[in-house]
C-alpha cells in the first residue's frame, strides 16, 4: 500500500515524486539514481511542495539525507523545506525516523552552499580558508575605495557611481559576458568609460584577493571554476547522490554551470520552476536555463508539467492567467483551479498614496475583525520605498508589521559596526571592515584609518602590529582598548557566542556617543546575540548572516516575534514562492508596474508583466490591486522627485476589466474614473487631474 503522503498528491505530482524510485527502494543502488527530471509548471501548482515530497520520498526509500543537495531561493525557503521534509518522512518512517537525525545538512541557497564548499576545498584551490564575505554594501564600499585610488572619482565628466560600477561588474561575472557586451546591452550610458572600468575591475579583483575577501559573485564564480576542474568536479559532485533545485527559472549561467558540473549526466538531478515567473534577469538570470534543460542531456531529461493550481480561487487565477496570457511570449501551461468563489479580484481606484495607505489599513483591520489574522495578509509592491506612506500609517495605528526585501536588520549601522568588529578580528586584512571600525574612534578619519591599515597590511601578525600603528593623538586613549578587544576576539577567546558579548561591551560606549537613539539600537544588538546563539561558530554565523540576513520572522528571531501577529510587507521579488490568504498590491499604475525604469526594451517590459503575474498569484482568497491616481516618484532623472498622474497599469487593458470588481475608495468618490484611465486614453487626463484637485 502506498504511503499516505503519496495519496494526497495528484497523478503528475506523484509521478515527479516517484521518478526513478522503485517501490522497494531507490532504483539500483543509491549511487546510481534516476535520470534528470524537470518539473515546469505554473504558479501554485505545487512545485515546491512536490519537491519537498520527493526529497522525503527519497529518504524513506533509503537515500542518505546527508548526501542530498537541495538549493532554494532563500534561506527561509530552505528552512521551510527542511521542516516539511522532516515532517513527511518522519511520519512515514515512524520509529525509524532516526535516519533523519543528521537532517538535511545540505539545504540552502547557492551562495551559502558555495561558501561552505569553498571553505572546505580552500587548500585545493589556493584560497585562504579564513576568507570573509562582503555583502553588497561592503562590496560597493571596496569598489569606491579602489575608485578613489585610481582617481576616477575626480574625473571631469561624472564617473559611474559605486553602485553602478558594482552592478556592471556583477553582471559581467554572472552572465559570463565580456565588459563591452554588458555595457552595450545594459549600461549604454557608461560605454565611454570602458577602459577605466576595465582598470577599476582589475583593481577591485586585486584588492579582494589581497584582503582575502570574497563578494557574493565570487562565491558562485569560484565554485563554478572549482567544479569545472574535472577531478574536483567529480569529487564534489560525488558528495551528493541527489541534487534538487527550486525556482530554476531564476538561476543565472554560473548557477546552471555549477549544477551541470555537479551532475554532468543528469543522474540524480531534479529541477523545478516556472518560465512565466522569471523575474531576475536584472541579476543576469536567464530563463534559457530552464528551457534548455531537457536537451542538455542524452537522452533528454524527463519533463513533467502540473496544471492544477491549489492556491488561488478561480476568479483570481482567471485574472492572473489573463494578464500573463497577453505576454508576447506564449507560456504553454494551462492552469486551472477547483476553488470556487464568487469574489472577483478587486481593482481599487483612489486619489493618492495617502489614501492608499488608509485604505489598506482599514481593509486589513476589517479582515482581522472577520477572523483573518494579520499574518494571513500581505502587502506587495514593486520597489521597497513604495511602502513608505503605508509604514507611517501602520505605525501611527499601532499595527505590527515586518518588511521583506527592503532595508534589512543587518543593514543598520550599529549591527554592521558590531559585525565588522567580528569580521576584522577574523580577517585583519579586510580593509572595508577595518576602515569602518577605526572611524568609530574619536579622532580617526578616513586618512588615518588608511594609514593604520597600510601599516598592518604587510605585517606577519597584523592584529599584533595594530598596537604600534600610527594613530592621531586624540585617538590615543581609545586605541589600546580597541587593540586589546581585537586580540581577544582574534585568539581562542571566550568561545561562541560568548565572544559576541565581549564585542558588544567594547562597542556600547561608542554606540552611546554616536547615536541619539541608542536605546533602540541596543535592543537590536540584544536580538543579534539571541540570533547568534543559533549558530555553531562565529564563522558560520558571519557567513550565513552576510549571505541571507534574517528578517524578524525567521525562526532565529526568537519566540517573542514568532508568537506575535503581524502584517507582511514585501517587495514582489521577495514574495516569490510564498502565499497569503489576502494580498494587496500597491501602485498598480504605469510608472510603477511597469516601472519607469523597466520600459526601455520589450524584454524589460515583459519581465515587468511577469512581475505583476507573480504578485497576483500569491493570493489565495482575496486580491486587491490598488490604483492611486497620483503617486510620488523618486526619480533619478533630471526632473527629480515629483508627483505624477498615472494611469492603471497597461498590463490590465480594457478588455480584461470584466475579470475584476472595480471599486472606488472612499466609496463616495465612485465613478468611471475609479480605476484610472485605460491605457489607450490620452497621456494626460486633465479631467482626473481637476477632480483630484478638489478632493
Contacts to Mg ion by CB under 5 A: 47-48, 577
Residue nearer to Mg ion on the CB measure, 247 or 353: 247
Among 75, 311, 363, 510, binds ligand ATP (CB under 6 A): 311
23 is written with which cell numbers? 517501490
Q: Which of residues 589-618 bind ligand ATP (CB under 6 A)?
A: 617
Q: Report yes or no: 350 and 587 within 8 Å, Cβ to Cβ.
A: no
Residue nearer to ligand ATP on the CB measure, 43 or 503: 43
CA dihedral 394, 398, 401, 406 (to 10 degrees): 50
Does the protein bind ligand ATP through residue 490 (CB under 6 A)? Answer: no
Q: Which helix (H) or strand (E) holds 191?
A: none
Q: What is the CB neighbour count within 10 angstroms for residue 63?
A: 22
Does the protein bind ligand ATP through residue 14 (CB under 6 A)? Answer: no
The CB-nearest residue to ligand ATP is 46
9 is written with which cell numbers? 498528491
Q: Report yes or no: 188 and 181 within 8 Å, Cβ to Cβ.
A: no
Has 47 been labeled as part of a binding site? yes
Termini Cα distance of the chain: 67
Find, among 583, 547, 19, 111, the residue nearest to 302 by Cα. 19
Has 42 been labeled as part of a binding site? yes
Does the protein bind ligand ATP through residue 47 (CB under 6 A)? Answer: yes
Q: Report yes or no: 296 and 270 within 8 Å, Cβ to Cβ.
A: no
Among 17, 37, 40, 43, binds ligand ATP (CB under 6 A): 43
Least Å from the CB of residue 470 to ligand ATP: 56
Least Å from the CB of residue 74 to Mg ion: 11
* Options 43-51, 185-193, 448-456, 641-649: segment touching ligand ATP (CB under 6 A): 43-51
Least Å from the CB of residue 322 to ligand ATP: 18
555 is written with which cell numbers? 525562526
DSSP H helical ranges for 263-372: 288-292, 314-325, 353-369
Least Å from the CB of residue 581 to ligand ATP: 11
The CB-nearest residue to Mg ion is 48
Residue 43 touches which of ligand ATP, Mg ion, none (CB < 5 to 8 A by kind)? ligand ATP
Residue 44 touches which of ligand ATP, Mg ion, none (CB < 5 to 8 A by kind)? ligand ATP
Residue 651 neighbours by CB under 8 Å, 6+ apart: 323, 326, 593, 594, 608, 609, 612
Least Å from the CB of residue 1 to ligand ATP: 19
Does the protein bind ligand ATP through residue 134 (CB under 6 A)? Answer: no
Q: Helix, strand, or coil here: 18?
A: helix
Q: Report yes or no: 571 and 380 within 8 Å, Cβ to Cβ.
A: yes
Residue 550 touches which of Mg ion, ligand ATP, none (CB < 5 to 8 A by kind)? none
Residue 46 touches which of ligand ATP, Mg ion, none (CB < 5 to 8 A by kind)? ligand ATP
Among 310, 341, 524, 635, binds ligand ATP (CB under 6 A): 310
Alpha-carbon span 155 to 200, nearest angstrom: 14
Q: What is the CB neighbour count within 10 angstroms for residue 214?
A: 23
Residue 649 touches which of Mg ion, ligand ATP, none (CB < 5 to 8 A by kind)? none
566 is written with which cell numbers? 503581524
Among 8, 22, 468, 562, binds ligand ATP (CB under 6 A): 8
Has 273 been labeled as part of a binding site? no
User: How many chain residues are in contact with ligand ATP, going by CB under 6 A?
Assistant: 19
User: Which residue reads 526509500 in cell numbers?
Assistant: 61
Does the protein bind ligand ATP through residue 571 (CB under 6 A)? Answer: no
Alpha-carbon span 601 to 387, nearest angstrom: 27
Q: Report yes or no: 306 and 41 within 8 Å, Cβ to Cβ.
A: yes
Does the protein bind ligand ATP through residue 46 (CB under 6 A)? Answer: yes
Does the protein bind ligand ATP through residue 13 (CB under 6 A)? Answer: yes
Q: Which helix (H) or strand (E) holds 128?
A: none
Q: Which helix (H) or strand (E) holds 479?
A: helix 479-490
Residue 13 touches which of Mg ion, ligand ATP, none (CB < 5 to 8 A by kind)? ligand ATP
Q: Report yes or no: 258 and 222 within 8 Å, Cβ to Cβ.
A: no
* Options 5-13, 585-593, 600-608, 673-681: segment touching ligand ATP (CB under 6 A): 5-13
Q: Which of residues 246-305 bind ligand ATP (CB under 6 A)?
A: 274, 277
Has 151 been labeled as part of a binding site? no
Q: Report yes or no: 333 and 611 within 8 Å, Cβ to Cβ.
A: no
Does the protein bind ligand ATP through residue 36 (CB under 6 A)? Answer: no
Beta-strand pair 302-304/37-40: parallel
Has 46 been labeled as part of a binding site? yes
Does the protein bind ligand ATP through residue 440 (CB under 6 A)? Answer: no
Has 28 been labeled as part of a binding site? no
Does the protein bind ligand ATP through residue 212 (CB under 6 A)? Answer: no
Does the protein bind ligand ATP through residue 434 (CB under 6 A)? Answer: no
Find, among 411, 340, 374, the residue nearest to 565 by Cα. 374
Indicate the angle between helix axes 216-228 and 253-262, nearest 10 degrees. Answer: 40
Find, among 532, 28, 47, 535, the residue nearest to 250 by Cα. 47
Least Å from the CB of residue 58 to ligand ATP: 17
Residue nearer to ligand ATP on the CB measure, 244 or 489: 244
Does the protein bind ligand ATP through residue 76 (CB under 6 A)? Answer: no
Binding annotation: 41-48
Binding annotation for ATP: 41-48
| Residues of this chain that bind ligand ATP (CB under 6 A) | 8-10, 13, 41, 43-49, 274, 277, 310-311, 577, 579, 617
Amino acid at each position: 500500500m502506498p504511503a499516505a503522503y503519496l495519496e494526497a498528491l495528484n497523478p503528475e505530482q506523484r509521478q515527479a515524486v516517484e521518478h526513478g524510485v522503485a517501490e522497494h527502494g531507490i532504483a539500483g543502488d543509491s549511487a546510481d539514481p534516476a535520470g534528470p527530471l524537470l518539473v515546469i509548471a505554473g504558479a501554485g501548482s505545487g512545485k515546491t511542495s512536490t519537491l519537498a515530497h520527493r526529497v522525503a520520498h527519497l529518504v524513506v526509500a533509503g537515500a542518505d539525507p546527508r548526501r542530498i543537495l537541495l538549493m532554494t531561493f532563500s534561506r527561509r525557503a530552505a528552512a521551510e523545506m527542511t521542516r516539511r521534509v522532516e515532517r513527511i518522512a518522519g511520519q512515514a518512517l515512524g520509529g525509524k525516523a532516526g535516519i533523519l537525525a543528521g537532517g538535511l545538512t545540505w539545504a540552502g541557497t547557492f551562495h551559502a552552499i558555495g561558501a561552505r564548499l569553498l571553505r572546505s576545498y580552500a587548500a585545493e584551490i589556493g584560497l585562504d580558508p579564513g576568507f570573509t564575505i562582503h555583502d553588497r554594501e561592503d562590496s560597493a564600499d571596496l569598489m569606491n575605495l579602489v575608485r578613489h585610488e585610481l582617481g576616477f572619482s575626480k574625473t571631469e565628466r561624472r564617473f559611474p557611481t559605486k553602485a553602478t560600477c558594482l552592478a556592471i561588474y556583477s553582471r559581467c561575472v554572472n552572465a559570463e559576458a565580456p565588459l563591452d557586451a554588458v555595457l552595450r546591452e545594459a549600461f549604454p550610458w557608461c560605454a565611454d568609460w570602458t577602459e577605466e572600468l576595465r582598470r577599476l575591475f582589475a583593481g577591485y579583483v586585486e584588492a579582494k584577493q589581497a584582503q582575502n575577501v570574497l563578494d557574493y559573485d565570487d562565491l558562485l564564480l569560484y565554485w563554478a571554476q572549482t567544479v569545472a576542474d574535472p577531478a574536483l568536479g567529480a569529487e564534489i559532485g560525488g558528495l551528493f547522490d541527489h541534487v534538487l533545485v527550486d525556482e530554476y527559472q531564476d538561476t543565472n549561467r554560473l548557477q546552471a554551470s555549477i549544477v551541470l558540473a555537479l551532475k554532468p549526466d543528469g543522474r540524480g538531478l531534479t529541477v523545478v520552476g516556472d518560465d512565466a515567473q522569471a523575474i531576475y534577469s536584472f541579476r543576469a538570470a536567464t530563463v534559457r536555463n530552464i528551457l534548455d534543460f531537457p536537451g542538455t542531456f542524452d537522452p533528454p531529461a524527463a519533463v513533467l508539467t502540473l496544471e492544477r493550481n491549489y492556491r488561488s480561487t478561480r476568479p483570481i487565477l482567471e485574472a492572473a492567467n489573463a494578464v500573463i496570457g497577453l505576454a508576447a511570449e506564449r507560456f504553454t501551461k494551462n492552469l486551472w483551479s477547483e476553488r470556487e468563489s464568487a469574489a472577483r479580484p478587486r481593482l481599487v481606484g483612489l486619489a493618492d498614496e495617502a489614501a492608499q495607505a488608509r485604505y489598506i489599513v482599514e481593509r486589513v483591520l476589517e479582515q482581522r475583525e472577520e477572523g483573518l489574522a494579520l499574518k494571513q495578509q500581505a502587502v506587495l509592491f514593486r520597489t521597497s520605498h513604495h511602502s513608505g506612506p503605508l509604514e507611517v500609517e501602520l505605525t501611527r495605528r499601532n499595527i505590527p508589521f515586518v518588511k521583506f526585501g527592503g532595508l534589512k536588520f543587518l543593514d543598520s549601522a550599529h549591527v554592521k559596526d558590531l559585525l565588522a568588529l567580528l569580521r576584522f578580528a577574523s580577517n585583519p586584512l579586510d580593509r572595508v571592515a577595518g576602515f569602518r571600525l577605526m572611524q568609530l574612534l574619536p579622532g580617526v578619519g578616513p586618512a588615518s584609518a588608511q594609514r593604520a591599515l597600510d601599516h598592518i597590511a604587510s605585517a606577519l601578525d597584523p592584529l599584533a602590529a595594530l598596537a604600534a600603528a600610527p594613530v592621531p593623538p586624540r585617538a590615543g586613549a581609545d586605541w589600546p582598548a580597541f587593540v586589546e578587544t581585537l586580540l581577544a576576539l582574534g585568539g581562542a577567546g571566550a568561545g561562541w557566542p560568548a565572544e559576541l558579548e565581549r564585542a558588544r561591551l567594547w562597542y556600547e560606549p561608542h554606540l552611546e556617543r554616536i547615536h541619539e537613539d541608542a536605546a533602540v539600537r541596543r535592543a537590536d544588538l540584544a536580538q543579534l546575540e539571541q540570533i547568534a546563539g543559533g549558530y555553531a561558530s562565529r564563522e558560520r554565523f558571519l557567513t550565513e548572516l552576510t549571505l541571507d540576513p534574517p528578517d524578524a520572522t525567521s525562526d532565529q528571531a526568537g519566540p517573542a516575534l514568532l508568537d506575535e501577529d503581524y502584517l507582511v510587507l514585501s517587495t514582489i521579488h521577495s514574495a516569490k514562492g510564498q502565499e497569503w490568504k489576502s494580498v494587496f498590491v500597491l501602485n498598480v499604475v504605469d510608472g510603477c508596474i511597469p516601472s519607469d525604469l523597466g520600459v526601455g526594451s520589450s524584454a524589460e517590459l515583459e519581465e515587468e508583466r511577469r512581475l505583476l503575474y507573480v504578485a497576483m498569484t500569491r493570493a489565495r482568497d482575496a486580491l486587491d490591486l490598488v490604483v492611486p491616481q497620483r503617486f510620488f516618484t523618486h526619480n533619478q532623472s533630471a526632473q527629480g522627485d515629483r508627483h505624477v498622474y498615472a494611469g492603471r497599469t497597461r498590463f490590465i487593458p480594457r478588455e480584461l476589466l470584466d475579470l475584476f470588481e472595480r471599486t472606488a475608495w472612499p466609496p463616495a468618490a465612485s465613478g468611471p474614473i475609479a480605476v484610472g484611465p485605460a491605457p489607450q486614453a490620452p497621456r494626460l487626463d486633465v479631467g482626473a487631474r481637476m477632480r483630484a484637485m478638489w478632493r
